[in-house]
Amino acid sequence: MLLWRIWRSMTHPPRQDPVFQRVFSAPRLQEPRITGLFIPWMMMFAGGGLCWALTFDWLPTLLIVALLSANTIFGLWGGTAVSQVIVAEKESSRYSLLATLPGGTLMTSWAMGLALLHRRPAFVWMPFLVRLGAFIIGLTLALMACMTFFLVTYGPGPESSIVANYRVIQQTIAACGLVAIFFFDHFYSIVTAVLVGIIAPVDVINRYEAQSRTIMLFLGTQITVYVVTLLVFIAAAPLASTISDGIMGAGFRVLLTVGVYLLQREALIRWLWSVMCQRLNAGTPEVDDLLAITIG
């Protein structure tokens, strides 16, 4: 996936690059780690959240909107900052001078954007917490689904209890799909925002125009992806019911929705990456050098 190649390049910036050092003026941040009872608390949150979602029908919708909005806001915060730092260098007539360095305009813009992100502690901590939280919550939900399935299969009980347990399993499968989408959405949103933040100010030197372009393009891509994913989830219901009204149908519906989401996101960043390289007149050697950081 191009996502992880770009992400590794973003998390391993060219710290010796003079452009990066010019923008990056803060000490290197300490690697994030967890202490105390973080993991048990996250497992309790996952179990309790699922119980609340089964009780209140409106809660899953609210949770989905809140999680995806958080990713969008975090990405927009980074994308607008990237476009602003590039425009600031253009306004001071330093950008054209920096672009004469061996890396060219591609590495100049890339180094500026990454330097700005790495100055912010949230860029280090948020992805770490998202990875850890998604793993713990996903594992907890999977264990709950397995235990409930075991009770349904081997535990005696009235018909109403069996139906209720099947509903719990279906809701748990849907919750696992939401966790997967939230996890990938966090990283896709950041990468998309950075690419948009670099593309938007290519031919402008006005920071307000660059900010407006960044906001409109980024929000447009985010909303489009979310709407298409929602439509696929809704449209998949009749198809899933033809397969099974139970666990198999729920699993198929979730897998189809997550798969369509990932295809959209991957196609989008590939297009944005191509546009960025084209607009910055980047040749194949420059692009290869930038992505070579991912395997270095």
Residue partners of 260: CB distance under 8 A and separation at least 6: 228, 229, 232
Pair of tokens at residue 287 = 């692009």
Torsion of CA 256, 261, 165, 41, to 10 degrees: 150
pLDDT in tens, 43-62: 666 666 666 666 666 677 78
pLDDT at 30: 53
Using left for φ > 0, alpha for ψ between -120 and 50, and beta otherwise, residue 104 falls in left
Between CA 242 and CA 240 the distance in angstroms is 5
pLDDT at 111: 86
Pair of tokens at residue 192 = 């998309």
Residue partners of 9: CB distance under 8 A and separation at least 6: 290, 291, 293, 294
- % residues pLDDT > 90 (the chain): 24
Other Cβ atoms less than 10 A from the Cβ of 26: the count is 10
pLDDT at 28: 52
pLDDT in tens, 160-188: 666 777 777 888 888 889 999 999 999 99
Between CA 164 and CA 182 the distance in angstroms is 27
Which of 246, 220, 249 has its CA nearest to residue 233? Answer: 249
pLDDT at 183: 94
Between CA 223 and CA 225 the distance in angstroms is 5
Between CA 119 and CA 235 the distance in angstroms is 43
Other Cβ atoms less than 10 A from the Cβ of 221: the count is 24
Between CA 103 and CA 109 the distance in angstroms is 10
Q: Can you give the residue ranges of every domain in the chain?
A: 2-20+37-295
Torsion of CA 141, 142, 145, 147, to 10 degrees: -110
Amino acid in the structure at residue 179:
V
Average pLDDT over residues 109-121: 85
In this prediction, residue 294 has a pLDDT band, given cuts at 50, 70 and 90, of very low
Tell which wins on pLDDT, 114 or 33.
Answer: 114
Can you give the pTM of this predicted structure? 0.85
DSSP string, 87-135: HHHHHTT-HHHHTTSTTHHHHHHHHHHHHHHHTSHHHHHHHHHHHHHHH
Q: What is residue 262's DSSP assignment?
A: H
Tell which wins on pLDDT, 281 or 83.
Answer: 83
pLDDT in tens, 144-166: 888 777 777 776 666 666 677 77
pLDDT at 182: 93
In this prediction, residue 293 has a pLDDT band, given cuts at 50, 70 and 90, of low
Does residue 253 contact residue 241 with C-beta atoms inside 8 Å?
no
Tell which wins on pLDDT, 140 or 257.
Answer: 257
pLDDT at 156: 63
Radius of gyration in angstroms for the set of CA atoms belonging to the chain, rounded to a whole number: 22
pLDDT at 35: 54
pLDDT at 296: 39
Q: Is 58 exposed, middle or buried (0-12, 13-18, 19+ CB in 10 A)?
A: exposed
Average pLDDT over residues 79-98: 84
pLDDT in tens, 211-269: 888 999 999 999 999 999 999 999 988 887 777 767 788 888 899 999 999 999 999 99
In the predicted model, what is the mean pLDDT of the chain? 81
Measured in residues, the chain has a length of: 296
Which of 255, 189, 193, 200 has its CA nearest to residue 226? Answer: 189
pLDDT at 33: 57
